Amino acid sequence: MKTLAGFTVALFLLALAFAPWMFAMPAPPPNASFTLISPTAGQVLFPGQKVRVEWETSSLGSMNCTDCEMELWLSLDGGRTYVVQITPSMDPRTTFFYWIVPNMPTNSAVIDIRYGAEPFYPDGFHPQTASPFVITGGGQQ
């Protein structure tokens, strides 16, 4: 009986020795900045149009962040609120996405590029307010 108790205590202590390593938080995602290339500031888009949304990323390099992801969100009010997610969660090294423009007319559309490592680290917001564009009320030209 003493052998079993000693074995149990030894196993418990061994588990505690590895606990910090097993339950440690992953490293925070590397800092990154994003710059929208297209659509450009003032560009007019039409509902139903297929547009290549493209951006540049800095500071990610050849990172290895298995929990990192990014998403693009659309604002229709100049960046005050972002109500439409326009991409699925993507690899943060992605630099473009083909998007079908929705029928949501606005003169002040803005894209926000969100990047993080959820559920451990919340997304960082990178609104592209220097590149507002227009979504017309008519069909594709």
pLDDT at site 21: 47
Rounded-to-integer distance, Cα 67 and Cα 118, Å: 7
Q: Are 33 and 66 in contact (CB under 8 A)?
A: no
What distances in angstroms separate CA 136 from CA 48, 52, 59, 104, one per listed residue?
11, 17, 35, 8
Rounded-to-integer distance, Cα 101 and Cα 85, Å: 12
pLDDT at site 112: 98
State the DSSP string of 26-46. PPPPPP-EEEEEESPTT-EE-
Collapse the DSSP code of 14 into the 3-class scheme (helix H, G, I; strand E, B; otherwise coil) and give the result.
helix
pLDDT at site 17: 60
pLDDT at site 27: 61
Q: Chunked in runs of 10, what are the mean pLDDT values of the chain (141 residues)?
A: 68 60 58 91 98 87 69 97 95 93 97 87 90 86 54
Q: Which domains does the chain have, with CATH numbers?
A: 33-135 (2.60.40.10)
Rounded-to-integer distance, Cα 63 and Cα 72, Å: 20
pLDDT at site 129: 96
